[in-house]
């Protein structure tokens, strides 16, 4: 109760729709969501799609789907609207053009006629002379004649922000007090020569217009903060906003293998991989919450609602977080075991449909089998994806059923014929088709009768019937499969 809650927290998640959603991005979304929910504030979802060459509709849709799948509901944004819309920057170009014009009129920005070649040439000269490279202020104070001469050459100017000659200090919500010297931040481009506004302009303009109070984002964006602080002052000066500059908080880097930053190209970075492999959204969200934050000593299992309840931005660590796929998978397994058997079965339905194992909707027989097999595998799986190969044998027509060739090579080789034949005749003869009767029959025939060790005895039966060496418990599996299907598969293995 000692914590003070700012009046009306407004945070934003504002990805660019380029490529596929990745875990770094989702961690940012999650921390913003939790912060908003903790403070009873507003979570704004904004699409930063002003780079027409790189943005795609497909990627936009993937972002929307990602937040939905994760259960990170947004209060304002695409598809839900809100008082500060539109929330796709490609629909706000007039706003940016207007602000750009006002910045230029107020002297906060100026036309820069330098060509890329000229900039590169001067940059090299600066480096050679041992000076810091970066824009040198060349066009800061062009005379009307100079401007007319450039225009006559047909040059179209970029709009460049005039950085004030001051140092920047801010109290970062994660990293504490930070300081950047004036000479480290050269004047920067807001609008390209072709009229395209850049991130440098549109991001703070929208933060201002959307009345964002806190900017929580990845550490990779730290270097843009001094520019945004300066731009914010200018936006206030020209009357675009009368709000205070948001508080910034930079979330720690996420490190992958080999002590380097997790890259968008790493497979474990892609949200699509988790969906395809049947991770639960609860599991992934829980794991991502641990990348820079903790709910308390020794506690690693919690829901996003619990995260929101306890989330305190000042307890986010500035130290790099290590991404550990094994741990992520283990936490997913904890979530699977936390769900009831009925719930796991319900989650498996769409997953198995995606794998082509269940019809849409499932038949009554498929529902029954699924309901009975889940208790057998509930503690043996960390993802829904791990269940699929283990239980596929139940949902595959006998005609389409195949045995994993590698597993067949290991246990269905020489000598297995005798085992399978003995198993078949005992199973054909048992009086009732139940797990205890199946067990008694197989033990009698293979262990007592043939004198085999259990592993040698049951391995061939398991592979012949379930197709794999890893299956749910054998006797229960056979009971579920039924006598006819079991015998048919033993026959097929004997014939093969």
> Exposed, middle or buried, 131 (CB in 10 Å: 0-12/13-18/19+)?
exposed
480, 369 in Cβ contact below 8 A? Answer: yes
**Positive or negative, the Cα torsion across 290, 295, 297, 303?**
negative
Q: Is 200 in the site for ligand GLU (CB under 6 A)?
A: no
Q: Does 104 bind Zn ion (CB under 5 A)?
A: no
Residue 138 binding: pick among ligand GLU, Zn ion, none (C-beta 5-8 Å cut-off by kind): Zn ion
- Residues β-bridged to residue 172: 176
Annotated catalytic, 264?
yes
CB of residue 62 to ligand GLU, shortest distance in Å: 14
What is the signed CA dihedral for 399, 404, 405, 410, rounded to 10 degrees?
-130
Q: Which stretch binds ligand GLU (CB under 6 A): 14-22, 64-72, 130-138, 326-334?
A: 14-22
What is the C-alpha separation between 339 and 119, in angstroms, rounded? Answer: 59
Query: Cβ of residue 140: shortest distance to Zn ion, in angstroms?
Result: 8
Angle, CA of 304, 382 and 294, to the nearest 5°: 35
Give the bridge partners for 180, in sequence order: 168
- Integer-rounded Cα Rg, in Å, for the chain is 31
Marked catalytic residue, from 264, 327, 453, 455: 264
Which residues, 6+ apart, have CB-to-CB distance to 214 below 8 Å? 6, 9, 10, 11, 35, 173, 246, 247, 248, 249, 313
Closest C-alpha among 89, 98, 214, 237 to residue 162: 237
> CA-to-CA distance for 116 and 156, rounded, in angstroms?
12
Distance CA 476, CA 309 (A): 43
Shortest gap between Cβ of 245 and ligand GLU (angstroms)?
13
Residue 209 touching ligand GLU (CB under 6 A): no
**Are residues 313 and 216 in contact, defined by beta-carbon separation less than 8 angstroms?**
yes
- Shortest distance in whole angstroms from residue 48 CB to ligand GLU: 4
- 16 in contact with ligand GLU (CB under 6 A): yes
463 binds ligand GLU (CB under 6 A): no
Q: How far is CA 455 from the centre of its chain?
A: 42
Residue 159 interacts with Zn ion (CB under 5 A): yes or no: no
Q: Which two tokens stand for residue 267?
A: 């497979």
Nearest to 358 by CA among 311, 397, 305: 397
225 binds, among ligand GLU, Zn ion, none (CB under 5 to 8 A by kind): none
Q: In terms of CB distance, is 211 or 303 closer to ligand GLU?
A: 211
Which of Zn ion, ligand GLU, none has residue 112 at its interface (CB below 5 to 8 Å by kind)?
Zn ion
Q: Measured from the CB atom, is 37 or 250 closer to ligand GLU?
A: 250
State the Cα–Cα distance between residues 494 and 496, nearest whole angstrom: 6
Site string for ligand GLU, 43-82 (x = CB under 6 A): -----x----------------------------------
Q: Which does 139 bind (CB under 5 to 8 A by kind): Zn ion, ligand GLU, none?
A: Zn ion
382 binds, options Zn ion, ligand GLU, none, Cβ within 5 to 8 A by partner type: none
**Site for Zn ion (CB under 5 A): which residue of 88, 101, 122, 138?**
138
221 is an interface residue for ligand GLU by CB under 6 A: yes
Tokens 């009345």 belong to 211
Q: Which does 32 bind (CB under 5 to 8 A by kind): ligand GLU, Zn ion, none?
A: none
Given 103, 139, 212, 358, the residue binding Zn ion (CB under 5 A): 139
Stretch that binds ligand GLU, among 10-18, 79-87, 245-253, 429-437 (CB under 6 A): 10-18
- Give min distance, CB of 6 to Zn ion, in A: 40
- Picking from 197, 129, 190, 138, the residue whose alpha carbon sits closest to that of residue 159 is 190
According to CB under 6 A, which one of 9, 10, 11, 14 is a site residue for ligand GLU?
Answer: 14
Q: Which residue among 26, 104, 109, 112 contacts Zn ion (CB under 5 A)?
A: 112
Rounded Cα distance, 211 and 245, in Å: 9
Of 203 and 471, which CB lies nearer to ligand GLU in the complex structure? Answer: 203
- Using the contact rule CB under 5 A, the part of the chain among 104-112, 250-258, 276-284, 350-358 near Zn ion is 104-112
Beta bridge partners of 39: none
Residues that bind Zn ion (CB under 5 A): 112, 114, 138-139
Residues that bind ligand GLU (CB under 6 A): 14-16, 48, 203, 217, 221
Active site residues: 264
């Amino acid at each position: 109760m000692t914590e003070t809650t700012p009046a009306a927290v407004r945070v934003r998640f504002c990805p660019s729709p380029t490529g596929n959603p990745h875990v770094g991005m989702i961690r940012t979304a999650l921390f913003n969501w939790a912060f908003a929910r903790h403070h009873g504030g507003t979570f704004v979802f904004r699409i930063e799609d002003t780079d027409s060459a790189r943005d795609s509709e497909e990627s936009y849709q993937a972002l929307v789907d990602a937040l939905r799948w994760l259960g990170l509901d947004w209060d304002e944004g695409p598809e839900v609207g809100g008082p500060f819309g539109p929330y796709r920057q490609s629909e706000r170009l007039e706003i940016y053009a207007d602000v750009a014009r006002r910045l230029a009129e107020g002297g906060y920005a100026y036309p820069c006629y330098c060509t890329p070649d000229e900039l590169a040439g001067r940059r090299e000269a600066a480096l050679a002379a041992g000076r810091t490279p970066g824009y040198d202020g060349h066009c800061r104070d062009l005379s009307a004649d100079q401007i007319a001469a450039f225009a006559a050459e047909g040059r179209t100017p970029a709009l460049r922000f005039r950085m004030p000659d001051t140092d920047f200090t801010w109290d970062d919500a994660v990293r504490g007090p930070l300081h950047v010297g004036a000479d480290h931040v050269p004047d920067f481009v807001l609008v390209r020569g072709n009229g395209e506004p850049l991130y440098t302009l549109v991001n703070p303009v929208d933060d201002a217009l959307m009345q964002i109070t806190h900017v929580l984002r990845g550490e990779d964006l730290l270097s843009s903060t001094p520019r945004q602080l300066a731009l914010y002052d200018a936006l206030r000066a020209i009357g675009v906003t009368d709000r205070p500059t948001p508080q910034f908080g930079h979330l720690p880097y996420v490190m992958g293998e080999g002590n380097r930053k997790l890259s968008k190209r790493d497979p474990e970075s892609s949200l699509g991989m988790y969906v395809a492999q049947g991770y639960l959204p609860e599991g992934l969200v829980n794991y991502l919450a641990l990348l820079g934050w903790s709910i308390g000593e020794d506690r690693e299992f919690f829901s996003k609602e619990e995260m929101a309840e306890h989330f305190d931005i000042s307890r986010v660590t500035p130290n790099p977080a290590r991404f550990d796929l094994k741990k992520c998978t283990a936490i997913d397994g904890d979530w699977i075991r936390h769900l009831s058997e009925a719930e796991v079965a319900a989650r498996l339905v769409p997953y198995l449909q995606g794998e082509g194992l269940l019809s849409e909707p499932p038949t009554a027989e498929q529902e029954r089998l699924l309901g009975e097999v889940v208790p057998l595998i509930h503690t043996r799986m960390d993802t829904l994806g791990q269940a699929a190969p283990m239980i596929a044998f139940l949902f595959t027509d006998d005609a389409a059923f195949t045995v994993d060739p590698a597993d067949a090579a290991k246990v269905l080789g020489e000598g297995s014929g005798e085992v399978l034949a003995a198993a078949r005749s005992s199973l054909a003869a048992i009086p009732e088709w139940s797990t205890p009767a199946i067990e008694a029959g197989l033990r009698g025939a293979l262990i007592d009768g043939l004198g085999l060790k259990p592993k040698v005895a049951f391995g061939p039966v398991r592979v012949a019937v379930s197709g794999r060496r890893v299956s749910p418990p054998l006797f229960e599996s056979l009971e579920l499969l039924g006598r006819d299907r079991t015998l048919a598969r033993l026959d097929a293995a004997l014939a093969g």
